[in-house]
Amino acid sequence: MAPHPQVNDRPTILRIAVPSPLRTSFDYRPPVGVPIASIQPGVRLRIPFGRSTRIGILLAKVNHSELAPDRLKAALQVLDPEPLLPRASLDFLLWTSRYYHHPIGETLFTALPVALRRGAAATRSKAALHWRPSATGRAVDATTLGRAPRQQAVLQALQSHSDGLDEVALRGIHKDWRCVLKTLQEKAWVESCDAPQVVTKKPARDWQPNTAQQLAIETVDVRRGCFQPYLLDGVTGSGKTEVYLELAERTIAAGQQVLILVPEIGLSPQMISRYQRRLQAPFAVLHSGLSQRERLDGWLAARDGEAAIVIGTRSAIFVPLARPGLFIVDEEHDPSYKQQDGLRYSARDLAVIRARNAAAPIVLGSATPSLESLRNVEAGRYERLHLPARVGNARPPGISIIDLRKQPPHAPLAPPLLSAMERCLEKGEQALLFVNRRGYAPVYLCHSCGAISDCPRCDAHMVLHQKSGRLRCHHCGTEQAPPSKCPACGAAAFIPVGAGTQRISTSLQERLPKARILRIDRDSTRRKGAMEGALEQIHAGEVDILVGTQMLAKGHHFPKVTLVGILDADGGLFGTDFRASERLAQLIVQVAGRAGRGERPGQVYIQTHHPDHRLLHALVEKGYENFAQAALRERQEAALPPYSWLALLRAEAPTQKANFGFLEAARSLAEKILAPGLMLLGPVPAVMERRRGRYRARLLMQADSREVMQTRLDPWLDTLQRHKSARRVRWSLDIDPVEVD
Ligand code: ADP
Ligand code: ZN
């Protein structure tokens, strides 16, 4: 039957986004008895959907539908008296859905706190109880609490908010705040009180911004009220955070809100309390460790303009703001800003879009800027602000390369590194060893025939773990007892090969029996509060050697660490991904930045079999900036991002044949709409061809113009999703992928 467009001058139909993989919105009539004029875009509605009901969000009111009038169902109920999403948010999310070619309903629901997705009322919890320091508590010198850093952090925060902090603020300072608060209450240092009425004094700062900081601050500040992206490029400890704080302070003083994004791992209690101490303003902290209720409260406080400062991890980029005035993305190079499933967005890139929409400046800060951002500086789209030196006496660490070819084989720590560690410990300083694998041994190998224990479900080796004595796959979680006999040759001669964090810790302990060694990786910090506990031990000087994975490279300040060892740089030099060397350089510089931040200078040792590698050389001899320039030229010659644009079509299925059937079809459909400057690469099997028992393959689209690529994707996806081969695979499209695997 032909559609019956119902033409009317006044809208009668609700166009609603519903979370569903279908790349479309859905039309409904208003609920019976509810005048359409009373329903505004941005409200949630309950609607009949298939055989059940769903919650959807009103996108627009329209006056005709592709559906015949008698086929339009009525919505059941309007859930919000006022729009849940303000117009600006709705527009931003529509843009996001178009740019990432992700269904609008799923995009909107990704952006909402879970409670709202499930239909909770958009109201804040009752005025929460607040706590403030008692008269005795105000008189305590919190700096004397160095041995009890959790109490110190909470008390300091309370002292600088003498009119009181609520549960959300305290949770932001420490996960175990209730327990800490109880201790402080027992000492009669804190008391409960009503919500604060007025904002009072500002904490004193006993120093002035240096010239480079001042220049950065003023440059951004004069552009308040205008869109301008800035790249704040400064080594670790050069005072970037102080620049953020000062700019945030001025923005708040002007009555506007500040959104600060930090990488997951950088959102530490110390960091939040630093912001809270300095900025006397209502805060909303948004991260994955919160309860649904807490997240909703923070989200509403941001939307309604009550929170002047909103600080959060990746997904906080979707929080509506009543009066946005400044956007900050700390550690902008961090890959955790990219979501790797569902709506595959980059929170950093979206932050730039939000700043543009809000006509506000945005500061992207890093000691190791991404090549994308450096390219944007080169092209004049971003302005670079440079903090060239560490603040105060802290000197940058020296970097030495240890040529593993000249060292005894199979020793994870070369003798020069070991003796440097011994010297470091003799001086009572701390050492940090960076290992890129957790577990005991990354490979379990038959000494007789060379067979390797592989995961039955993935194309990956099983990793031997010490405590459980079992083999574990880091990709799918499969666990097994180590085989007693080799399934290939029958020999009983399996040996662990290579070294993960556990093995390094164990063998170091044998070499240096007196050293207090602490391992930090995903296994050792899984328990709640374990990471905080570890950091406290480190700061209290109860640890001599830290052995850890990249968890150690971000955000934390370790002023007593003066020696850093990077045990294996080779993986990064020859990684399969074109970003491998960029990641390695960022890692080296970030880990190195943990050393010698106090008065003592630091030293970094990098172990490699390729001491003459061009990029490694550029990095060590002339620093990150020089490395980045060399890497940019390589990318340009190869026409790789940021000099081209990528869209990666991934497929996953029980057989590789199904994947190739789909991707070949996708390729021929794409060939029909190709434009000059658009290229297709593949299909090819993924680097890890099988994962969790499913086969994986990819087709890559590469374009020299983002606009041209964008115009081709929609028609392509429309035909692709209807193609019969699409039913046999799970597929997804990744715009601007960070991993081309
Ligand atoms: P980054 O964010 O670049 O790592 P921070 O802003 O954390 O650097 O600054 C490093 C340390 O130096 C902090 O303890 C900070 O309080 C201090 N600091 C920053 N700027 C100054 C300054 N102008 N004078 C004195 N100390 C400063
Ligand atoms: Zn596996």
* Atom number, ligand 1, closest to the C-alpha of residue 245: 6
What's the confidence (pLDDT) of residue 198?
46
What's the confidence (pLDDT) of residue 2?
47
Please check whether residue 493 lies inside any domain of the structure. no
Q: Are residues 600 and 667 in the same domain?
A: no
List the 479-480 sheet strands across, edge first. 463-464, 471-472, 479-480
Q: Which residues contact 536 (CB under 8 A, 6 or more apart)?
A: 149, 150
Cα(685)–Cα(407) distance, integer angstroms: 38
Calculate how far, in angstroms, residue 285's C-alpha sits from the geometric centre of ligand 2: 35
The answer to whether 45 touches 84, Cβ cutoff 8 Å, is no
Q: Are residues 158 and 113 in the same domain?
A: no
Which tokens in the block code for residue 9? 């001058």
Cα(352)–Cα(327) distance, integer angstroms: 8
Measured by CA distance, the residue closest to atom 23 of ligand 1 is 209
Cα(70)–Cα(38) distance, integer angstroms: 23
Mean pLDDT value of segment 230-256: 94
Last residue of a domain, one of 609, 635, 661: 635
- Ligand 1: residues with CB < 6 A are 207, 209-210, 213, 234, 236-242, 391-392
Ligand 1 pocket test, candidate residues 211, 242, 272, 334, most atoms within 8 A of CB: 242
Ligand 1 pocket test, candidate residues 391, 554, 597, 599, most atoms within 8 A of CB: 391
Q: Are residues 651 and 670 in the same domain?
A: yes
Q: Which ligand is nearest to the Cα of residue 559, counting in written order?
A: 1
Can you give the residue range of the structural domain that contains 423?
398-441+498-635
Ligand 1 pocket test, candidate residues 156, 241, 590, most atoms within 8 A of CB: 241
The answer to whether 640 touches 647, Cβ cutoff 8 Å, is no
Q: Which ligand is nearest to the Cα of residue 694, counting in written order?
A: 2
Please check whether residue 451 lies inside any domain of the structure. no
Greatest Cα pair distance in the chain = 86
Last residue of a domain, one of 603, 635, 667: 635
Q: Which letter does DSSP use for residue 125 in this model?
A: P
Q: Are residues 86 and 227 in the same domain?
A: no
Cα(295)–Cα(597) distance, integer angstroms: 35
Q: Are residues 557 and 588 in the same domain?
A: yes
Between helix 211-221 and helix 240-253 the angle, nearest 10°, is 40
Q: Residue 730 sits in a domain of what CATH number?
A: 3.30.70.600
Please check whether residue 203 lies inside any domain of the structure. no
Calculate how far, in angstroms, residue 254's C-alpha sits from the geometric centre of ligand 1: 24
Cα(309)–Cα(690) distance, integer angstroms: 44
| pTM metric for this prediction | 0.86
Please check whether residue 448 lies inside any domain of the structure. no
Question: What spatial distance separates the first Cα and last Cα of the chain, rounded to whole Å?
Answer: 46
Cα(145)–Cα(152) distance, integer angstroms: 5
Please check whether residue 486 lies inside any domain of the structure. no
Which tokens in the block code for residue 506? 């164990």
Q: What is the pLDDT of residues 608-663, one digit of tens each?
A: 988 888 888 888 888 899 999 999 999 999 999 999 999 999 999 999 999 999 99
Q: Are residues 624 and 679 in the same domain?
A: no
Q: Residue 94 sits in a domain of what CATH number?
A: 3.40.1440.60
What's the confidence (pLDDT) of residue 543?
92
Q: Are residues 344 and 402 in the same domain?
A: no
Q: Are residues 266 and 172 in the same domain?
A: no
Q: What is the pLDDT of residues 348-389, one digit of tens each?
A: 999 999 999 999 999 999 999 999 999 999 999 999 999 988
Last residue of a domain, one of 51, 86, 117: 117
Measured by CA distance, the residue closest to atom 19 of ligand 1 is 239
Q: Which residues of 371-398 are buried (b: 16+ CB within 10 A; e: fewer)?
A: bbbbbbbeeeebbebebebbbeebebbe
Q: Return the amino acid letter for 83.
A: P
Q: Which residues contact 678 (CB under 8 A, 6 or more apart)?
A: 701, 702, 703, 708, 709, 712
H-state helical runs in 495-546: 501-511, 530-539
DSSP β-bridge partners for residue 259:
310, 327
Q: Are residues 98 and 161 in the same domain?
A: no
Q: What is the pLDDT of residues 161-211, one digit of tens each?
A: 777 887 777 887 887 888 888 888 888 888 877 665 444 455 567 778 999
Calculate how far, in angstroms, residue 92's C-alpha sits from the geometric centre of ligand 2: 38
Q: Are residues 340 and 227 in the same domain?
A: yes
The answer to whether 500 touches 437, Cβ cutoff 8 Å, is yes
List the 678-691 sheet strands across, edge first. 678-691, 694-703, 645-653, 730-735
Q: Are residues 574 and 434 in the same domain?
A: yes
Please check whether residue 4 lies inside any domain of the structure. no
pLDDT band at 126 (very low <50, low <70, confident <90, very high): low
Calculate how far, in angstroms, residue 390's C-alpha sits from the geometric centre of ligand 1: 8
Cα(329)–Cα(230) distance, integer angstroms: 10
Q: Are residues 620 and 723 in the same domain?
A: no
Calculate how far, in angstroms, residue 290's C-alpha sits from the geometric centre of ligand 1: 29
H-state helical runs in 475-579: 501-511, 530-539, 570-573
Count of domains observed in the chain: 5
Measured by CA distance, the residue closest to atom 22 of ligand 1 is 209
* Atom number, ligand 1, closest to the C-alpha of residue 236: 4
Tabulate helix, strand, coil % of the chain (nearest 5): 35, 20, 40
Please check whether residue 459 lies inside any domain of the structure. no
Measured by CA distance, the residue closest to atom 25 of ligand 1 is 207
Calculate how far, in angstroms, residue 617's C-alpha sits from the geometric centre of ligand 2: 36
Which tokens in the block code for residue 243? 């620049």
Q: What is the pLDDT of residues 27-42, one digit of tens each?
A: 999 999 999 999 999 9
The answer to whether 298 touches 271, Cβ cutoff 8 Å, is no
The answer to whether 227 touches 361, Cβ cutoff 8 Å, is yes
Question: Which among 319, 323, 297 has a CA at the least distance from the CA of 308?
Answer: 323
Please check whether residue 342 lies inside any domain of the structure. yes
Q: Residue 512 sits in a domain of what CATH number?
A: 3.40.50.300
Q: What is the pLDDT of residues 691-721, one digit of tens each?
A: 999 999 999 999 999 999 999 999 999 899 8
Arithmetic mean of pLDDT over the chain: 89
Q: Assess whether pLDDT exceeds 60 at residue 591.
A: yes
Please provide residue 346's backbone torsions phi and psi, each rounded to the nearest 5 degrees: -105, 115
